[in-house]
Amino acid sequence: MSQYYTATDHFVLIPAIMLALFGCAILLFDFLVFPSPRQRKWLLIFVALGEGFTCFGLWRQYAFLSANSLPELTAFQGSLTADGFALFFNLMFAAAALIVAIVSYRYLEIEGEHHGEYYALILLAQCGMFFLAAGTDLVTLFIGLELMALCFYVMVGFLRSDKRSNEAAMKYLLLGAFSSGFLVYGFSVLYGISGSTKLREITAAVAARDPWDPMVFLAVATTAVGLLFKISAVPFHMWAPDAYEGAPTTVTAYLSVASKAASFAFLLRIFAGPLGPAREDWLPLLIFVAVATMTVGNLAAISQSNVKRLLAYSSISHAGYMLLGLIAGNDTGIKGVAVYILVYTFMNLGAFLVVVALRREGIIGEDLDDMAGLVHKSPGYAILMLIFLLSLAGIPPTAGFLGKYYIFLSLIQTGHYVLAVIATLYVAVAIYYYFRVVKTMFAGELADHEPLASSFGLRLALGVTGVLTLGIGIYPEPWLRLAQTSLMR
């Protein structure tokens, strides 16, 4: 029996076990110990403990790897790995999940949908993300993807009495299932080529064939479509604005940050692994998609009047920038994607948290007009939002600049000058719509005198994201080293 579940397997799997365990514990405790809605915020302790144990497990893996200077630790006969890449992304997921969890209780109370399952779903979705970042087997990856997606389908539709939320969940479910179909089809072709589901073996089998072999091309095309759906790249982005707008804002924040990071981890695993040898197949395709994504994301964001939709389109354009890192494909590019994910996590979460605070009893607070004159009412929130928006646009000395810096540098190193020029010019476009929000906040007439829905958790989370967004920009060294670990594989 022991050969099927070795100590190494356990060591690699322990973060996922912890997430699943605490997720289930929340479900149990929710109705056994905390029957009254007012007590539910204590469930946060379980989330915090779960994240604590997960991070401890990740830290032990990291310590083990660096102590033995190993690039990676494989488990389950090569279906799961603990390498720097997986560790880095898992750390990001943990940060995002924790921040989202601690801001949610007040928000869900206002929405009147404060249920214990919510926290369980956060942890279980993160468990799925774990497999997306650490999986090296098509089946493991796919199960991780579906676990994550299923949790999100439920979370997006969490406001049961809200039509928009239901509609968003339905759209997300249908399109998500549709894209998963493409992905599985691509996986089946890859399996057909190699006779294995292990990424390593598939890579070898694809490398042995001509890139223009029809089977390889079919596999590349279908897999790419599936993956591009997940990161909401144009032309497969249609679900994102609707899902982002309809979902509870805290879920939108989680979706736009953690789910996107996980999908990127997945995408990088596949494109740098099995599809790597067929680079000449997908490079033109990805270049087209990246430019289209930046174009549509940035141009569509200009005319939005709903802040969540605006941020949805902006997050689409960010996916375009991250794709450029993969297009460059060198170490700077891959590290650039990691740095981008790192800074994006905090700045985008921060921007959504301000929107969370705008939701009050009787005020939906998602429209641009709801932010009008925010600086007169809550100057702290307005200034934080300014910092997040500057960072999203990539203006130094905020963190967002570093993400863009790496992407631009990698494009120049690999000679993609035209792409670099396009990408930089869209920064100016982005500033235009981000500053529509700034303009409203700082120059508009005060929209209402109702104070913002603040809570200790929200203030803490905003403080952390704000300090990090500015701090990473001013003293980036330790964070760049952290992102450097993602190249360990």
Partner 1 sequence: MEQHLLSIVLFTPLAGLLVLLLIPSSHKTLIRAWANVAAFAGFLVSIPLVLRFDKNIAGFQFLERADWIPSLGVKYAIGIDGISLLLVMLTTVVGFLAILSSWAAIDTHLKSYYAMFLLQQVGMIGVFIALDFFLFYVFWELVLVPMYFIIGVWGGPRKLYAAIKFFLYTLAGSVLMLLGILTLYFQHNQQFGFYTFEISELMKLDLPLGLQQWVFWAFFLGFAIKVPMFPFHTWLPDAHVEAPTAGSVILASVLLKMGTYGFIRFSLPLLPKASIDQTIVGVLAVLSIVAIIYGALVSLMQQDWKKLVAYSSVSHLGFCTLGIFALNPNGIAGSVIQQINHGISTGMLFLIVGIVYERRHTREIAEYGGLGQVMPKYATVFAIAMLSSAGLPLLNGFIGEFTILQGAFEANRAWAAFAVMGVILGAAYLLWLYQRTILGQVTNPKNLRLPDLSLRELAVFVPLIVWAVWIGVYPKPYFDVLEKPVQQIVERVRPGYFQGGGAPQRAALPASRPQGGSR
Which residues of this chain interact with partner 1, rule CB under 8 A? 390, 395-397, 401, 405, 408-409, 412-413, 417, 420-421, 424-425, 427-428, 431-432, 435, 439, 442-443, 476-477, 480-481, 484
The nearer residue to partner 1, 211 or 397, going by C-beta atoms, is 397
Tell me the closest approach of the beta carbon of residue 408 to partner 1, in angstroms.
Answer: 6
Tokens of 476: 């980036």
Angle at 347 between CA 41 and CA 242, to 5 degrees: 75
Tell me the closest approach of the beta carbon of residue 135 to partner 1, in angstroms.
Answer: 29
Tell me the closest approach of the beta carbon of residue 425 to partner 1, in angstroms.
Answer: 6
The nearer residue to partner 1, 196 or 424, going by C-beta atoms, is 424
Query: Please, which residues have CB within 8 angstroms of residue 341's CB and are 6 or more apart in sequence?
Result: 89, 92, 261, 264, 322
The four Cα atoms 337, 339, 340, 344 give a dihedral, to 10 degrees, of 140
CA distance 292 to 421: 14
Tell me the closest approach of the beta carbon of residue 300 to partner 1, in angstroms.
Answer: 18
Q: What are phi and psi of 79, to 5 degrees?
A: -95, -15
The nearer residue to partner 1, 155 or 351, going by C-beta atoms, is 351
Burial of residue 25 (number of CB atoms within 10 Å: 0-12, 13-18, 19+): middle
Burial of residue 382 (number of CB atoms within 10 Å: 0-12, 13-18, 19+): buried
Tell me the closest approach of the beta carbon of residue 461 to partner 1, in angstroms.
Answer: 23
The nearer residue to partner 1, 15 or 325, going by C-beta atoms, is 325
The nearer residue to partner 1, 244 or 401, going by C-beta atoms, is 401
Helix axes 307-328 and 239-246, enclosed angle (nearest 10): 140
Task: Return the sign of the alpha-carbon dihedral for residues 356, 361, 364, 367.
Answer: negative
Tell me the closest approach of the beta carbon of residue 395 to partner 1, in angstroms.
Answer: 5
The nearer residue to partner 1, 112 or 463, going by C-beta atoms, is 463
Tell me the closest approach of the beta carbon of residue 426 to partner 1, in angstroms.
Answer: 9
The nearer residue to partner 1, 24 or 425, going by C-beta atoms, is 425
The nearer residue to partner 1, 267 or 437, going by C-beta atoms, is 437
The nearer residue to partner 1, 190 or 324, going by C-beta atoms, is 324
The nearer residue to partner 1, 454 or 484, going by C-beta atoms, is 484
Tell me the closest approach of the beta carbon of residue 474 to partner 1, in angstroms.
Answer: 9
Query: Please, which residues have CB within 8 angstroms of residue 330's CB and are 6 or more apart in sequence?
Result: 410, 413, 414
Tell me the closest approach of the beta carbon of residue 372 to partner 1, in angstroms.
Answer: 13
Tell me the closest approach of the beta carbon of residue 268 to partner 1, in angstroms.
Answer: 21
